[in-house]
Amino acid sequence: MKKLLPEKWLVVIAVLLGTFTIILNNSMLNPAVPHLMNVFNADAVSTGWVITIFMVTMGITMPLTGYLGDKFGKKKLYLIGLLIFMVGSVLGSFSWNLSSLIFFRGIQGIAGGIMMPLSMALIFEVFPRHERGLATGIWGIAAMMAPTIGPTVGGVIIETGSWQWLFLFNVPIGLLGIIIGAMYLKNTNKVQGITFDRWGFASVTVGVGAILYALGRVSALEHLVQPFNLFLILIGFISLFFFVKIENRSEQPLLDLSIFKNKAYTYSVWISISTSLALFGGIFLIPLLIQHVYGLGPIVTGLIFLPAALFTGIFMTIGGRILDRRGPLLVVTSGLLITAIFTLSLGFITMETSLIVIFILMAMRGIGQGFSTMPATTAGMNAIPEKFISRGSAMNNVLRQISSALGIVFISIFYEVRKVQVFPNVGTMEEASLQAINEGFLLLGVIALLTVPFGWLLGRAAEKQESKTTLSA
């Protein structure tokens, strides 16, 4: 294997296997919730915790990865994270009731929170700046393709086998990731004399945990205005407010917020948030369109996602090459524009629209996602000092996690409310659902359109940063 590929590309393969396993497993479980309700004789709210607990534990673990990576070394921590995920997966397959399943999913979430921010940091360790676009583009295939094919894989497992295979499916891929990672991941130096920012950790844990917990409990408008959920969101934002105050005064902050003074990084974070809203909003709306409006099954729904996943993967690597050669301005701006145009186009689907048209629109949207998501993130990470890579990646992942959850909650509430409002005027529930879905895509498209200027701003800021680096070298 050493002769076939340079070692730095084996690093990409190692972290890709781990990342793909985590994201695929989480998305496989989404269509399995109704089945798990029957298995454990539980209601939808209780069973929904199988998804929610992963999101919460992952979100509250991510801010720790920068500190832990510096203290123990990134390679060791990443492999520990992957091992924890494997243990959680095996234990999950032996779950004897819903509570045990939720607990083991929480363990998987902790592992995901460790691994996701470190993945990009480990790639940046072995690739020079001018090659990182292609490397992160190939790694990003896992992050973009897994959520789109996961529901199909999960549906097939549920229909043809046992629910335990939703967890055991991870084992061979994870083992391969551990073996390749142990052999080829680069050992990083431990940072001496660092201290743990316990008050920063406490405040960010309460803040991120409370907000993600509240969002995980919300699937309709009446849930959003429940006193307990409003209380959680309020506590979450108050805790994050104190977190910012604490970090700005701390000599060794858990997450150094000074990186937001770097304009290129800040623009890249906003683009990540916007593209996450578009991606996960679409993942929520498309199954409703195919199954509730057209009356087709989950297998067809999965096939609809395939062109988007395929084109995202292809154009993410192309976008990475363009980023390495020409910078982010052209590739990110054009990617955001393509995403906006074809997300808006999905807002004009009718009952007579053929599936081939939806295939094409999804594929074109995938091109935009491929050009914009990872190139923007990589450009932002390239713009910050090397010592902040782990913390910058953790920050990006935390905000992406919150925005993904927020996007699904916002679109799901919008869909439910609009469907009920429109129904008396159109006559059938299918037509009411279609109008609500159309309007949902139009909203997502407008958000994407408003983000297009940030691609241009990111490009300009990155060019200035590059010229400063060149002059100082």
What are the DSSP calls for 3-43, one per residue? TTS-HHHHHHHHHHHHHHHHHHHHHHHGGGHHHHHHHHT--
Q: Residue 62, class by beta-carbon neighbours within 10 Å (0-12 exposed, 13-18 middle, 19+ buried)?
A: buried
Q: Please count the other Cβ atoms lying within 10 Å of the Cβ belonging to residue 421.
A: 12
Same domain membership, residue 267 and residue 234: no
| 232 and 260, same domain (yes or no) | no
Statement to judge: residues 325 and 384 lie in one domain: yes
- If asked whether residues 219 and 142 sit together in one domain, one would say no
Q: What gap in Å lies between CA 106 and CA 102, rounded to an integer?
A: 6
Q: How far apart are CA 130 and CA 186, in angstroms?
A: 19
Which residue bears the tokens 């995901």? Answer: 112
Q: Same domain, yes or no, for 267 and 373?
A: yes
Indicate if 218 and 128 belong to the same structural domain: no
Domain boundary (251, 267, 292) is at 251
In one-letter notation, the amino acid at residue 190 is K
Given CA atoms 9, 189, 110, 275 in this order, what sign does their dihedral have? negative
Cα dihedral value 134, 381, 409, 232, nearest 10: 150
* pLDDT given for residue 80 in this prediction: 94
- 120 CA to centre of own chain: 13
- The structure tokens 């990540």 sit at 272
CA quadruple 424, 425, 426, 430: dihedral, nearest 10: -40
How many structural domains compose the chain? 3
Residues 274 and 220 in one domain: no
Domain boundary among 194, 214, 241: 194
Q: What is the pLDDT of residue 100?
A: 93
- Angle at which helix 49-61 crosses helix 98-126, to 10 degrees, equals 40
Instruction: Using DSSP, state whether 217 is helix, strand or coil.
Output: coil
* Rounded-to-integer distance, Cα 358 and Cα 286, Å: 10
pLDDT value at position 469?
A: 58
Q: Following DSSP, what letter does each residue of 92-107 receive, concatenated?
A: HHT--SHHHHHHHHHH
**Residue where a domain stops, chosen among 194, 215, 231:** 194
Asked if residue 267 and residue 302 are part of one domain, the reply reads: yes
CA angle 244–221–339, rounded 5-degree value? 70
Query: What is the distance between the alpha carbons of residues 110 and 93, in angstroms, rounded to a whole number?
Result: 17
Residues 334 and 245 occupy one common structural domain: no
Domain co-membership, 165 together with 200: no
Could you read off the pLDDT tens digit of each residue along the chain, which spans 473 residues? Answer: 445 567 888 888 889 888 888 888 888 887 677 778 888 888 766 787 888 788 888 888 988 888 888 888 889 999 999 999 999 999 999 999 999 999 999 999 999 999 988 888 888 888 888 888 888 888 877 776 777 677 778 878 877 878 899 899 889 988 999 999 999 888 877 777 788 888 988 998 899 888 888 877 776 667 777 888 889 999 999 999 999 999 888 888 888 888 888 899 999 999 988 888 888 788 788 888 888 888 887 677 777 878 888 888 889 889 989 998 888 999 999 999 999 999 999 999 988 888 999 999 999 998 999 999 889 999 988 888 887 887 888 888 888 877 877 777 788 888 888 888 888 888 788 888 899 999 999 999 999 999 999 999 999 998 887 766 555 54
Q: Examine the domain organization and report whether 118 and 239 are in the same domain.
A: no
| Claim to verify: residue 457 and residue 374 sit in the same structural domain | yes
pTM: 0.83
- Measured CA to CA, the distance from residue 432 to residue 286 in angstroms comes to 15
CATH number at residue 26: 1.20.1250.20
DSSP string, 290-336: IIIIS---HHHHHHHHHHHHHHHHHHHHHHHHHHHHH-HHHHHHHHH
Tokens of 180: 């390749």
Q: Give me the domain span that covers residue 217.
A: 195-251
Structure tokens at 417: 């409310």
